[in-house]
Structure 1
Amino acid sequence: MNVLIVYAHPQPHSLNGALKDFAVQHLENAGHQVEVSDLYAMQWKSQLDADDSSSPPLGDFYHPSSDSKQAFEQGTQADDINREQAKLQRADAVIFQFPLWWFSMPAIMKGWVDRVYACGFAYGVGEHSDTHWGDRYGEGSLAGKRAMLLVTTGGWESHYAPRGINGPIDDLLFPIQHGILFYPGFEVLPPLVFYRSNRMDETRFAECCTALAQRLDTLWSAEPLAFRRQNGGDYLIPQLTLRPEIYPGESGLSIHQQRK
């Protein structure tokens, strides 16, 4: 299988760097092909702008959606965007690895998403009608592939518990897992989060590697998060609201995931 690791940490000699190196070696030892997009090492350009295309804007000013769609369809995208899209197309599974900074991914990784997820490639695809509102949330160009978040954070696990002051980790990661991953079609695996990253010794690091190895070994067999498919019948279209008979009276992020 082909695995892409999209990696964002500025320091190679860090916990994240060691975990990334371990993941690459473990996957290759298991016979998988591995590509790494090391965003800091690549000096990845974060901002989405008119320089991402060699063709002029469609109108009087740059419009991110329509101009990125034109660039994707006409083959005038910047070379770095083309290379990353090709990596995504080759990949059977993608691991997004990053430290949790200010309750989200580092800006350089968000910039990777902004630029690589071009209109016509990761969004803006499929029929829009009164019964089918585009190929997204379980459908799309990345359907059939799997994705997983590998996250480190300095806080304690209890800080991210259901009653923890930082908010539940599943809620914090929802915009990434449901939006950035499930939206274009990925099957999203449960995240692997390592807490208290600044309190790491050899024993804890060995435990982290054991946990990571187990998750890497089950990339293709683990059950994905049960996010509801947009066009699967659970949502009213075109309103895109959950049908009132499903979890009546409830709201919030959790209603968009089927419960066991």
Structure 2
Amino acid sequence: MAQVKHITLIQGHPDPQGGHFCHVLADAYLRGAAQSGHAIQVIDVAQLEFPLLRSRAEFHGGPVPDDIAQAQSALAGAEHLVFIYPIWMGTMPALLKGFLEQAFRPGFAVNELGKGVLKGKSARIVVTMAMPALIYRWYYRAHGLRSFEHNILGFAGIGPMRENLIGMVEGMNDAARQKWVHKMEKQGRAGC
């Protein structure tokens, strides 16, 4: 049995109606994590209320919306973070990026000396896409994912990071989908 962890899962699909493969994967991870007794919190970005930041002043010192403050509390209390989102135009959807800009502000994710203050937290990043995952990784060099890992999570001190790149989601057959569901349940049980 895996060591019990405090896990925060960030559902980054922007559709508030749900029902996408990202939601199925999140449910599978949560089922597995619950089976191992992990303490779990979920942040569903599509259900949050927050404005986009439009200036440096807002980013550095503007008021933190209530939903973002609650999300920051969940992020701060976690040992392991799980981000699940689709690739849109080569990177994460704009709503997830807007959430990260709000949540990972200076003072929360980085101190006044520019040091990451979320050190000691690990992360798993699960991304779905219409193209083959190998094309995204090798031809496009997974530029959006790499930017997220290095410029947001790594800058905040988060690591190690693991990733699942799930390609051809729109044409995936039921057997392939079930294979990913089982893999996510297993990763949830392990808390990784």
Scaled by the length of structure 2, the TM-score of the pair is 0.87
2:6 aligns to what?
2
CA drift at 1:214: 3.8
**Partner Cα separation in structure 1 for residue 174 and residue 60 of structure 2:** 50
**Partner Cα separation in structure 1 for residue 149 and residue 191 of structure 2:** 16
Q: 1:158 to 1:79 in 2, by over 3 A?
A: closer
Q: Tell me if the contact between 2:83 and 2:124 (Cα under 8 Å) persists in the aligned partners.
A: yes
**Partner Cα separation in structure 1 for residue 106 and residue 182 of structure 2:** 39
Larger relative contact order (Cα-Cα within 8 Å, sequence gap ≥ 6)? 2
What CA RMSD, in Å, does the superposition of the two structures yield over aligned residues? 2.0
* SS of corresponding position for 1:5: strand
Q: 1:175 to 1:46 in 2, by over 3 A?
A: farther
Q: 1:81 to 1:208 in 2, by over 3 A?
A: same
1:12 aligns to what?
18
1:122 aligns to what?
109
Is 1:44–2:49 an aligned residue pair?
A: yes
1:156 aligns to what?
132
Q: 1:218 to 1:29 in 2, by over 3 A?
A: closer
The one-character-per-residue Cα deviations of 1:114-151 (angstroms, maximum 9, x if unpaired) are 1111221112433xxxxxxx31xxxx221111112110
CA drift at 1:65: 4.0
Gaps of 5+ in 2: none
Larger Rg over CA atoms: 1
**Partner Cα separation in structure 1 for residue 51 and residue 108 of structure 2:** 18
CA drift at 1:217: 4.3
2:174 aligns to what?
202
2:86 to 99, 116, 121: 99
Is 1:189–2:183 an aligned residue pair?
A: no
Report how many residues are paired: 186
**Partner Cα separation in structure 2 for residue 194 and residue 214 of structure 1:** 16
Report percent identity of matched pairs: 22
Q: Tell me if the contact between 1:177 and 1:188 (Cα under 8 Å) persists in the aligned partners.
A: no
